[in-house]
Amino acid sequence: MTNNKQQTAVELLAKLLLEKLEIKGDGYGINQIINLSKAMEKQMTIKLYNDYENYLEETFKNQCGGQAVVLSFEEFYEQTYGDDKQ
């Protein structure tokens, strides 16, 4: 069986912090923070998906015989969370 699970941003950040900054300790507190962050990221992703589905549903429901302007998922994400390029 192949593992197709992709690494999340939280997992990558945690890995880099633990490796590169050589964070020490019993690991218990760090693991709690990582797990909480992963749970928050998961909930945010689910909410974003649901919000986009609702947006699509409303867009098509309110389409009065004409063509609806539908944002791509990326456009919807940027409208919702902003473009965080710094």
| pLDDT range class, residue 86, cuts 50, 70, 90 | very low
What's the pLDDT score for residue 4? 64
Average pLDDT, the chain: 78
Residue 36 maps to a domain: yes
Domain count, the chain: 1
Residue 2 maps to a domain: no
* Segment (H or E) for 17: helix 9-20
Instruction: Give residue 51's domain range.
Output: 9-81
Residue 38 maps to a domain: yes
What's the pLDDT score for residue 33? 82
Task: Render pLDDT for 12-22 as a digit per residue (tens, 0 to 9).
Answer: 888 887 778 77
Residue 35 maps to a domain: yes
Residue 86 maps to a domain: no
Residue 39 maps to a domain: yes
- Cα–Cα distance measured from residue 73 to residue 86, given in angstroms and rounded to the nearest whole number: 21
Residue 16 maps to a domain: yes
Instruction: Report pTM.
Output: 0.64
Using CB atoms within 10 A of its CB, is residue 71 exposed (0-12), middle (13-18) or buried (19+)?
middle
